[in-house]
Amino acid sequence: MPADPVAAVTHADPYPFYETLRAGPPLAWNESLRLWVASRADVIEALLLSPGALRVRPVSEPVPRAIAGSPAGEVFGHLVRMNDGPAHTAHKPALQRALAGMDLNAAHADALQVARLVPEAPLSDTLFAMPIQAVAHLLGFAPETLPQVTAWMRDFVACLSPLSTEAQLQRASIAADALMTRFEAMAAIAPPRHGTLLAAVLSEGAAGSPPSRALLANLVGLLSQTCDATAGLLGNSLVALTREPDLRAAAHTQGGLHAIVEETARHDPSVQNTRRFVAEPVTTAGVQLAAGDAVLLVLASANRDPEFNAEPDRFMPIRTQRRMLGFGHGVHACPGQALACTVAAAGLQAMLARGIDLDALRERGWHYRPSANARIPVFD
Ligand code: HEM
């Protein structure tokens, strides 16, 4: 059993541990993490729907101290994912509408074409490069810039982890600066390349005026939200195929691939938890939370809650009602869910078409990249 719900994220099999959490109180205090822990689906849904009192960032530290005042901190500070209130409502609807308006069949075909050009080794890099390059391409980046965008994005995302080093923080700021400059230049072309996700987002804003720094940062945010989470979804889908050889026949069709990816997102999600920070005293699930408290919401446990999904531990690509919280819920729900599943399915298709040896992968085994919330396998 893992030591705690954060260690569980990268444990070989955290799910029996999550079951023990669900058998405990709806909100349990974890002294070593100094966090309240929610593990049942109904409690997590209620917390994610709680207005006002529960925020995505601590009131005292809207931007992590390590990057405050730097270019990486500027991007972070504008992200809808990291804001509540006006900074969230100013840009979330535009991102949501642009993503909801995408033609997912065309996006799959595009992502497949891009994935075919990504080097197949080392596999752990391929897992990141395929989704980032697919979304960068959909945004409008030219094919020859995609490897550079991948390098910048991986540098930027490293600063989002509390585990990052000083050198990583510096590289993150260089990357943030470079990406903001690129988006500014692409947005300045009037109009930006037709049919791109960039054009769709910009068409939501005031016509004729250049995009604000906040909007540019949120374009960078579309790539950063893609990065670790979709690499994990693609990697965990591969893990599912290595573990369950019976699934491999289903992976021959596009529909089958999508079903495998969606069930992976429920059964073994890449985003295992998220956090909320108490801004003002509130009573929830019978517990009085004080301002300054933090709550860990174990989304991956909710997906395996038998009150939420029937036979939750079984991997069933075809389910009558698949429910999951791994893409969040409520005002901060992920607007990229459908695109993420599409891009992961295309990546999986490209890997299988190259003849990836799933049995050899199973024999070699894998472990998980160090992280407090993302479950991303390392195969090499
Ligand atoms: C497997 C891949 C993905 C997973 C598991 C995932 C998961 C999530 C989760 C859990 C949240 C909410 C966090 C919270 O409320 O604390 C979120 C927010 C968000 N995601 Fe995703 N995501 C994925 C891919 C993507 C992609 C591909 C995009 C866009 C291209 C995207 C864009 C966003 C944005 C903009 C937000 C912030 C929404 C808000 O705060 O209102 N995500 N995602």
pLDDT, residue 235, reads 98
Question: Which position has the token pair 């997590």?
Answer: 44
Q: Which of ligand 1's atoms lies nearest the C-alpha of 326?
A: 10
**DSSP letters spanning 192-248:** -STTSHHHHHHTTS-TTSPPPHHHHHHHHHHHHHHHHHHHHHHHHHHHHHHH-GGGG
- In this structure, what token pair is assigned to residue 380? 């090499």
The predicted model gives 272-290 an average pLDDT of 95
Q: How far apart are CA 256 and CA 207, in angstroms?
A: 41
Whichever domain contains 245, its CATH number is 1.10.630.10
Q: How far apart are CA 11 and CA 5, in angstroms?
A: 10
Q: Is the CB of 326 under 6 A from ligand 1?
A: yes
Assess if residue 315 is contained within a domain.
yes
Of the candidates 346, 321, 324, the residue with the CA atom closest to the CA atom of residue 337: 324
Q: How far is the CA of 286 from the centre of ligand 1 (A)?
A: 29
Q: How far is the CA of 327 from the centre of ligand 1 (A)?
A: 6
pLDDT, residue 1, reads 94
Assess if residue 65 is contained within a domain.
no
Assess if residue 68 is contained within a domain.
no
pTM score, whole prediction: 0.97
Q: Is the CB of 270 under 6 A from ligand 1?
A: yes
pLDDT in tens, 334-363: 999 999 999 999 999 999 999 999 999 999
Q: Which of ligand 1's atoms lies nearest the C-alpha of 344?
A: 1
pLDDT at 192 over 80: no
pLDDT at 84 over 80: yes
Nearest protein Cα to ligand 1, atom 41: 332
Q: How far apart are CA 213 and CA 187, in angstroms?
A: 12
Assess if residue 1 is contained within a domain.
no
Which domain, by its residues, includes 155? 7-58+73-378
pLDDT in tens, 110-163: 999 999 999 999 999 999 999 999 999 999 999 999 999 999 999 999 888 877
Q: Which of ligand 1's atoms lies nearest the C-alpha of 333?
A: 12
Contact 342, 257 (CB under 8 A): no
Assess if residue 87 is contained within a domain.
yes
Nearest protein Cα to ligand 1, atom 8: 327
Assess if residue 110 is contained within a domain.
yes
Nearest protein Cα to ligand 1, atom 30: 222
pLDDT, residue 159, reads 87
Assess if residue 63 is contained within a domain.
no
Q: Which of 56, 225, 267 to mutate to test the pocket of ligand 1 (most atoms within 8 A of CB)?
A: 225
What is the total count of domains within the chain?
1
pLDDT at 333 over 80: yes
What is the enclosing helix (H) or strand (E) of 283?
strand 282-284
pLDDT at 205 over 90: no
pLDDT, residue 289, reads 95
Q: Is the CB of 70 under 6 A from ligand 1?
A: no
Q: Which of 334, 342, 373, 375 to mutate to test the pocket of ligand 1 (most atoms within 8 A of CB)?
A: 334
Phi, psi angle pair for 83, to nearest 5°: -130, 150
Q: What is the mean pLDDT of the chain?
A: 95
Packing angle of the helix pair 166-188, 146-158 (nearest 10 deg) = 130
Assess if residue 2 is contained within a domain.
no
